[in-house]
Amino acid sequence: MNKDRIEILRKKIEAAKAVLAQETVRQQKVKAKLQAREFLAVGAAVCAYASRSPEFKATVSEALPVVTDDKTRQFLVSRGWPL
């Protein structure tokens, strides 16, 4: 009888671990989605303001050397961002 109870409790623990893992993955996906939305909104605002303010565009351009991916760098240059 004790062995049955222990086995039932072990199964409950495993089920709880599975639910916890699923929730962790769900929360990570939500966090990534919100981060992507934030980057999109802020990026759009920065680009819009930079198109109206050459001084601001120059300031933003100072941060662009951190972009190391060649394709991304080429894209930015093709869109008028000095690197």
Successive 10-residue mean pLDDT values, the chain, 83 residues: 89 97 98 97 96 95 92 93 87
Q: What angle do CA 67, 71, 76 make, to 5 degrees?
A: 60
Q: How far apart are CA 39 and CA 7, in angstroms?
A: 48
What is the pLDDT at residue 64? 92
Amino acid present at 33: K
> Which domain range does residue 29 map to?
1-52
Asked if 47 and 63 sit in the same domain, the reply is: no
What is the pLDDT at residue 36? 98
Asked if 14 and 40 sit in the same domain, the reply is: yes
Amino acid present at 81: W
Asked if 14 and 35 sit in the same domain, the reply is: yes
Amino acid present at 36: A
Domain count along the chain: 2
DSSP one-letter string for 19-74:
HHHHHHHHHHHHHHHHHHHHHHHHHHHHHHHHHH-HHHHHHHHHHGGG---HHHHH
Asked if 1 and 33 sit in the same domain, the reply is: yes
Asked if 46 and 9 sit in the same domain, the reply is: yes
